Chain A
Amino acid sequence: MDNLELFKTLPLPGIETGSDVIKEIWAIGGGKGGTGKTFLSTNLGVTLARAGKRVLLVDADLGCANLHTCLGVNPKVTLSDFVQGKVNKIEEVLVETEIPNLALISGAYDYLEISNPKYTQKMKFIRKIHDLNFEYIILDLGAGTSFTNLDFFLSANMGILNVIPEPTSIENTYRFIKSTFYRRFKKVARDPEVKEVVTMAMDEKNRLGIRTPHDLIDYIDTIDEKAGQMLKETIYAFSPKLIVNQVRSKDDITLGFSMRSSCLKYFGIKVDYVGSIEYDDHVWRATKKKRPLLLEYPSSAASRSIERAVKNMLAEEELKFDLILRA
């Protein structure tokens, strides 16, 4: 099984843009550290690869890479080799895994200095990653709301928020949502005065009295109606998926529906609640063995939940509140 050879023989993007092949970029983020983003990315990737898709997992946690460990691989090349120009083509940092169809770009675990790259440089390698010839590209983000995280998240066509049923994680998830679309908005806004207002609004105790995104829109509408409209568009175009990980009760599962409602009322955005994953001892047992859960314990509760979540995401479906009530 020589994945790498297979990847190398694939037509280079740009030469032939296989228009019949749909490419999906998924980014897994959500603010707080240790909620299971890497665990989830790994197993989403494995699920898709086992369903016959050509999948690339990218460790986008530039400061603190560990995706390779979850897959039990020891990569000789990493993203930093490309960023630093040690290799010329991004294809050269592709690493094969034990799973056919699943490739990895390992994070720069030995080069802290690239954890906060310059914007243009970052956008360049994000674009290069996007151009790679895979059906699914999964970006495992680091914790927090660094610009790098936000830019990776915004670059995806599906953003997945990983939350656990704890106030700290919930708070960070909302902060992540807010930072993400404020970031996007600042990138699209032209007027420096508008940019300035957005920056100020990021601070919850700003002197303009802007508390909610509604306030911000109203305020910007008064300076520049067109910019206000743009902010609305930005908000509506933003529709991330939500996965509640480490659930231990029915209440924990319901949390996803409640967060969906809170996001709609507060941000005016529609979050799709695509799945919940049990807190499951099999997860750490697999982690200890440096093996993906889906391979090591395919019939565990958490494995099945992940497969269900993937199914929902592929079918553009959501969890149904009815099912929880009846359960």
Chain B
Amino acid sequence: MKRFSDQNHYELLELSYNATWGEIKKAYQLAKRTYSQDSIAPYSLFDANDREMILDRIEEAYKTLIDGKKRKRYNQDILKGSPELDDRTFKDTDESTTGETDDVILLPGQITGEALKQAREKRGVSLEEIADLTKINLAYLQFLEQDHYKNLPVRVYLQSYLQQYAAILKLDSTLVVDGYLESYQQWVEKNELDEG
């Protein structure tokens, strides 16, 4: 959970990282309407000042994401580690393409936090570094790796965190996001049964 002022463009518009042009347009339309001064939906939660701030950020997010070039640069900005970290992760990735290393291999299908942790350790990146770069709360990153599903934030944010985690470690983000969410979903369903 982040305050809206800490949310990145995707989180702010409640979009996934692979959102299409059409989805971005729609999300923008809805967000603008939701936080306009005459909208009753945020009544009693966000005052005129808050709304103005949210609207400014929505405008900025939209302008960036809807422009292919700007979006690419922005993605690189938020999903990239530091140059120093890049050196470390890059070497591994490079070797893995030749297929002759013991580099992390993530297979399609369910992915656990433990698998992510192993991948991260192989890359030699600490959780603290990821937390620093992404501004994701360190506790969440720990929960993520411990499969502590109960403590993880709602799905849209979780997805965004996974994406950033994968990007920093130069892991296949689709595999990571889909695989992890599959395990997560299974837990959600099981949990619902247990409660019943």
Q: Is B192 in the interface zone, CB < 8 Å from A? A: yes
CB within 8 Å of B: which A229-243 residues: 229, 232-233, 235-237, 239
Look across to chain B and name the residue whose beta carbon is closest to the beta carbon of A325: B26
Give chain B residues whose Cβ lies under 8 Å from the Cβ of A235: 1
User: Shortest CB–CB separation between residue B94 and chain A, in angstroms?
Assistant: 39
- Looking at B14, B30, B139, which has the most chain A CB atoms within 10 Å of its CB? B30
Q: B14–A22 contact, CB under 8 A?
A: no
Look across to chain B and name the residue whose beta carbon is closest to the beta carbon of A254: B33
Q: A236–B54 contact, CB under 8 A?
A: no
CB within 8 Å of A: which B1-54 residues: 1, 3-4, 14, 26, 29-31, 33-34, 39-46, 54
User: Shortest CB–CB separation between residue A126 and chain B, in angstroms?
Assistant: 15
Q: Is A24 in the interface zone, CB < 8 Å from B? A: yes
> Count of chain B residues with Cβ under 8 Å from any Cβ of A?
31
> Count of chain A residues with Cβ under 8 Å from any Cβ of B?
37
Give chain A residues whose Cβ lies under 8 Å from the Cβ of B107: none
> Given that A262-B42, A268-B1 are contacting pairs, would A257 and B196 also be in contact in the complex, using a CB cutoff of 8 Å?
no
A22 vs B34: C-alpha distance in the bound complex, in angstroms?
Answer: 37
A235 vs B193: C-alpha distance in the bound complex, in angstroms?
Answer: 20
Q: Is B88 in the interface zone, CB < 8 Å from A? A: no
Give chain B residues whose Cβ lies under 8 Å from the Cβ of A67: none
User: Shortest CB–CB separation between residue A30 and chain B, in angstroms?
Assistant: 14
Q: Is A89 in the interface zone, CB < 8 Å from B? A: no
A232 vs B14: C-alpha distance in the bound complex, in angstroms?
Answer: 20
Interface string of B149-175 (1 = CB under 8 A from A): 011111110000000000000000000
Look across to chain B and name the residue whose beta carbon is closest to the beta carbon of A217: B1
> Given that A236-B151, A236-B153 are contacting pairs, would A258 and B41 also be in contact in the complex, using a CB cutoff of 8 Å?
yes
Give chain A residues whose Cβ lies under 8 Å from the Cβ of B151: 229, 232-233, 236
A259 vs B195: C-alpha distance in the bound complex, in angstroms?
Answer: 27
For B154, give its contact among A171, A217, A268 (CB under 8 Å): A268
A265 vs B155: C-alpha distance in the bound complex, in angstroms?
Answer: 14
Q: B192–A157 contact, CB under 8 A?
A: yes
Give chain B residues whose Cβ lies under 8 Å from the Cβ of A217: 1
Give chain B residues whose Cβ lies under 8 Å from the Cβ of A122: none
For B41, give its contact among A239, A261, A322 (CB under 8 Å): A261
Q: A174–B45 contact, CB under 8 A?
A: yes
A217 vs B77: C-alpha distance in the bound complex, in angstroms?
Answer: 29
CB within 8 Å of B: which A154-180 residues: 157, 165-167, 170-171, 174-175
User: Shortest CB–CB separation between residue A201 and chain B, in angstroms?
Assistant: 15
Look across to chain A and name the residue whose beta carbon is closest to the beta carbon of B149: A236
A232 vs B195: C-alpha distance in the bound complex, in angstroms?
Answer: 20
A109 vs B29: C-alpha distance in the bound complex, in angstroms?
Answer: 47
For A261, give its contact among B31, B44, B154, B155 (CB under 8 Å): B31
User: Shortest CB–CB separation between residue A130 and chain B, in angstroms?
Assistant: 10
Chain B interface residues toward A at CB < 8 A: 1, 3-4, 14, 26, 29-31, 33-34, 39-46, 54, 139, 150-156, 192-193, 195-196
28 A-B contact pairs sorted by A residue (CB < 8 Å): A22-B196, A24-B196, A166-B40, A167-B43, A167-B44, A170-B44, A171-B43, A174-B44, A229-B151, A232-B1, A233-B151, A236-B151, A237-B150, A258-B30, A258-B39, A258-B41, A261-B34, A262-B41, A262-B45, A264-B14, A264-B154, A265-B46, A265-B54, A266-B42, A268-B153, A270-B154, A321-B26, A325-B26
